[in-house]
Structure 1
Amino acid sequence: MTAPENFPTSLPRVECLIQNGLKSRILMPADPAYAARIDSYWCNSAKLRPSCIVQPRSADDVSKAVVALAKANQPLAVRSGGHTNWAGSNNITDGVTIDLGLLNSTRYDDTNQTAHIGSGGKWKHVYAELEKHGRTVAGGREAEVGVGGFLLGGGNNFYASRYGLACDCVIAYEVVLADGSIVTAKADEHTDLFRALKGGGNNFGIVTCFTMSTIPSGPIWGGLALHPLDIFPAGIKTVVDFTTNNATDPDSSMQFVVGYQPRFGGGVCITIANNMAAVEKPPLLQAALALPEIMSNYKTTTLQEVLTYSSLPPNYYNIWFTLTIKNDASILVKAAELHNQMTKELQAGIPDQDFTSHVAFQPLPRLFVERSHATNASGNVLGLEQNTSDAILIQACASVRTAELEAWARPKVRALVDEVRAFASNIEGGVVPWVYLNYAHSSQEVLQSYGPENIRRLREASSKYDPEGIFQRLCPGGFKISALKN
């Protein structure tokens, strides 16, 4: 698309981009394509109104944009897939949003069985392209999630029991730094940056391409089952036992959800279970499969179909908080009970019942850490090795229709997580300090949870690769090193 002759240049942030050769890459608020890109954000909270959107078509375009905005001291945001839900995480009011959506190619290299994946891609498209070559990667578990944000936040995935977190399956990053230089960070080149990007978010530059190791693809077995709400104590026991024994079957994965889902009839429990080697009804999942069901769709299927099972509907205001706790059934039962209480409050305050809510319990065994280290000897900055026991990752969520309801419901979700934390703190080792970036609310202390040594690594990498603090001062979205007090 070519910008019209009467293209507005009065705003300094627009003018600086034009002067750096990006006129044809800019979308202004009056442009229908601008409205389409804003509407394409998954969460309404993220649908802010930047002064303009710039859509680079190459790493060189990204470099030009960063240099122009840094020189003009203009605020910016970076968008990958547009799935992060909190306001300001991947968009900005009155600044410039660098929208990586056109950097969405996936290229398979048969010589070394790697995939070169554009930061603006979505996992459903990545998997579809790699499937043509009989390969896949340890990527996102939901179709619409973007590549960049998911990988920079760590990346829980279907293959974590075999290969660890997704960030540890990245073997190289193409990164645009604050001075516009384009570097490759890998195990033997810019090693400190390579490590910092594995969980460090957008503190150091803009990643334009990820090179990942691939694994053979093929059919998988799995699906989901709906259960009556009152079976949640038994369901919780299945996920606790699974987490304890995950090492006996690293091809299987599961999560257990207690939720209010109108599309499923209201209050419900959900088991999502898979075996990535296509073993039907594997022994480790037998207890979960024996739970009373309303319905289930377990079968031998494809990864693409399984991606849809954990999808939440778009165009809501989504409130997410997260907490990591010891693999202890009593803590999970408490969380489920608190969720059910919260649901009653939401039902009373939202007469049309147009909302969803849930607490999801996801295994986080020590096995994941061991497999991450085996896959990536260089390490990451997540600090999960601090955890001495198997854990459960909790995601607490409410999705509502209006900004007013979001402001009303947010304290309720926060209170749920705070009360679970207080309960768990009375159990030895009950609260695990790690906070998962990709599920965290903007108010949560993510980087702090990585531990002092990793905070030091993050600070040193930021000072080295962004000495002027461009991504600290001008890019407010994300969890910032500059916000750390110690």
Structure 2
Amino acid sequence: MFFASGLVTLLLSSFAAGAILKRDPICIRIEATISRASNVYYPGDPLYEKGVSHWAGSSAQVSKCVVEPGTAADVGHVLTILGKTRTPFAVKGGGHASNPNFSSTTGVHISMYRFSLVVYNPATQTAQIGAGLIWDEVYAALDPYGVNVLGGRVSGVGVAGLILGGGYSWKTNQYGMTVDTVTAYELVKPNGNVVTVTKASDPNLFWALKGGFNNFGIVTKFTLKTFPQTQVWGGMVLVGPDNIADVTAATAAFASVTDPKASLITAYNYGFPEISLLLVYDGPTPPPGIFDDFLAIPSLMSDIGTKSFTQLVAGFPTDSTKGNRGVFNSISLLEYTPSLLNVILNETNYWGAKLTPKSGAFISYSVEPFLPSIYSHNTDASAWPPYRAKPFQPINIFFSWTDAAFDNEYHDAMRTTTKVIYDAAKAEGQDLTNTLVYPNYAIFDTPLSTIYGSSLPKLRTIKCLVDPQNVMGLAGGWKF
């Protein structure tokens, strides 16, 4: 026993010594430049492992080092070095991105964990939120003040990615998308300068950051409008295969609900109870009738009740597939008709049966109906969505598996099933012109024109002005 323990210690020491000898010169240069508020970690250090880890295992890579900056100025120093040396890098906020290489790299990995403050300002009714947080932490911090912001709907989602890609929320029916509520961005530009971007200070850049991701630098802090928050009603309901038809009928009928405080996600699953329902009312008790059809369906499990918003989101976990390989994709639809919901159900069962024998698949199609008015809450334009006249709404398709040998097969299946649903919607008569894809759900090779449409030329112009050396092109993600 002592010998085994001593041998492990010796091996770890040898590994650490080897890691020191092989430390990348760019990482060493960064370490010598940043302040004591920041750190650099190398392979073999637990904080390195924490830094590169992602919710989807297929999103993680082995980087030369992990940089955890603690100040915006240090982010500027890091970007300056990376730009001058043309070193590939990644920026990770919450780590919930599933697209490979979007927030990971074999170069220098920047993890934003230390940007973790939530500061509520009652005078301006805004909250400053660090880019390294997940939404669970934000909700918990604001809960004592009786206010909230528009953010992620399930547990574990990162702040930065959701905001920079638009952001659907449980409050979207009432107030619009998360980008509609941003009043300021603290941005480290590619040249290292730290600026606060508002509509007044730089209207074009402010517009571009509302959906433009990391093309213009690294955002370290967001200022968001806050809204009063009471207790809420809702939770998760799991329904077995015998009651699918009732769930589909209730989901289609939900389109007639006009109360903006009522929200729903119906997830058709394979590899889990057949359907999971996320029911939410932004108040302690919903008016009679809104959710009655759903509550009348026999369930396998239900945790519906009145609770805090923090408790509500914590009850929608994403841990069941954490660490697996995974990919999302989406299309935008005008409505969820009964026939289209049946197409979605058939796709769930078809691909579930086909893929489950290959690497233990979990297949899920999440139907996310919103009110037609969701894009009318913002009087200002934004990079995404570029069109606000049509009331399009997303479907979120998620495939999870364990073996990298099947990556291409799962990716191809994802593209195929998305097209089947798109074609079915068009065949029903839905005019899907300018119903652009939500970038936070889109698979990695989605053409930018199908995401940004008419915004794309302007985004490219602003990108060239802000980042003429294309420093941010050294990082992954949607690139203009």
- Do Structure 1 and Structure 2 share a fold, with TM-score over 0.5? yes
- Does structure 2 conserve the Cα–Cα contact (< 8 Å) formed by 1:227 and 1:269? yes
Is the contact made by 2:166 and 2:384 (CA closer than 8 Å) also made in structure 1? yes
SS in 1 for 2:468: coil
| Correspondent of 1:241 among 227, 237, 253 | 253
Question: Are 1:315 and 2:323 matched, yes or no?
Answer: yes
Q: 1:184 aligns with which of 168, 171, 196?
A: 196
Shift of 1:105: 1.1
1:370 maps to which of 373, 376, 389: 376
Counterpart CA distance in 1 for 2:394 and 2:34 is 46
Give me the whole-angstrom Cα distance separating, in 2, the residues matched to 1:192 and 1:282.
46
Measured after TM superposition, the shift of residue 37 of structure 1 is: 2.5
Per-residue deviation, residues 87-120 of structure 1 (Å, max 9, x unmatched): 1111102x11111011111111122121110001
Aligned to 2:8: none
Task: Judge conservation of contact 1:120–1:146 (CA < 8 Å) in 2.
Answer: yes
Partner residue of 1:46 out of 41, 56, 59: 59
Give the letter for the 2:306 counterpart: T
Distance 1:74 1:114, change over 3 A: same
1:275 aligns with 2:278: no
**Residue type of the partner of 1:289?**
L
- Partner SS, residue 412 of structure 1: helix
Report the CA distance between 1:381 and its aligned residue: 1.5
Q: Does 1:349 align with 2:361?
A: no
Which residue of structure 1 aligns with residue 10 of structure 2? Answer: none
Q: Which residues in structure 2 correspond to 1:79-478 (within 5 Å)?
A: 79-93=92-106, 95-243=107-255, 245-246=256-257, 248-262=258-272, 264=273, 268-280=274-286, 282-313=288-319, 314-329=322-337, 330-350=339-359, 354-371=360-377, 373=378, 377-383=379-385, 385-386=387-388, 388=390, 390-431=391-432, 433-446=435-448, 448-452=450-454, 454-472=455-473, 474-475=474-475, 477-478=476-477
- What is aligned with 1:27? 41
Name the residue aligned to 2:5.
none
- What is the CA–CA distance in structure 2 between the aligned matches of 1:404 and 1:152, rounded to whole Å? 32
Q: Deviations over 1:349-384 (max 9, x none)?
A: 34xxx432110000143211012x1xxx32211235
Deviation at 1:230, TM superposition (A): 4.6
**282 and 73 in structure 1: CA distance in 2 versus 1, 3 angstrom threshold:** farther
Q: Which moved more, 1:69-78 or 1:234-243?
A: 234-243
Contact 2:52 2:63 in 1 (8 A): no
Read off the aligned partner of 1:130 and give its amino acid letter: L
Shift of 1:448: 3.7
In 2, are the aligned partners of 1:12 and 1:72 still within 8 Å (CA)? no
The residue type equivalent to 1:456 in the other structure is: P
Aligned length: 459
Instruction: Give secondary structure in 2 for the equivalent of 1:193.
Output: helix
Whether the 8 Å CA contact 1:319–1:406 is kept in 2: the answer is no
Whether the 8 Å CA contact 2:155–2:315 is kept in 1: the answer is: no
- Residues in 1 aligned to 2:254 and 2:172: alpha-carbon distance in whole angstroms: 14
**Residue 10 of structure 1, CA deviation:** 5.8
> CA offsets, 1:238-259, max 9 Å, x none?
333323x34x211110111110
Identical amino acids, percent of aligned pairs: 27
Code of the aligned partner of 1:294: L
Q: CA RMSD in A?
A: 2.2
Q: Is the 8 A contact 1:176 1:207 kept in 2?
A: yes
Distance 1:273 1:282, change over 3 A: farther
Residue identity opposite 2:362 in structure 1? T
Stretch deviating more after TM superposition (329-338 or 405-414):
405-414
CA deviation digits over 1:371-410, x for unaligned, max 9? 2x1xxx322112353553x444111112112212334333
Letter in 1 for 2:263: S
Structure 1 Cα separation of the partners of residues 248 and 214 of structure 2: 35
Q: Secondary structure at the match of 1:211?
A: strand
**Contact conserved, 2:118 with 2:130, CA < 8 A, in 1?**
yes
* Structure 1 Cα separation of the partners of residues 264 and 340 of structure 2: 18
Q: Could you list the runs of 5+ residues in structure 1 that have no partner in the other structure?
A: 482-486
Encode CA deviations 1:183-220: one digit per residue, 9 max, x unaligned.
Answer: 11112111111111111111111000000111112210
**Residue matched to 2:12:** none
What amino acid sits opposite 2:325 in the alignment? Answer: Y
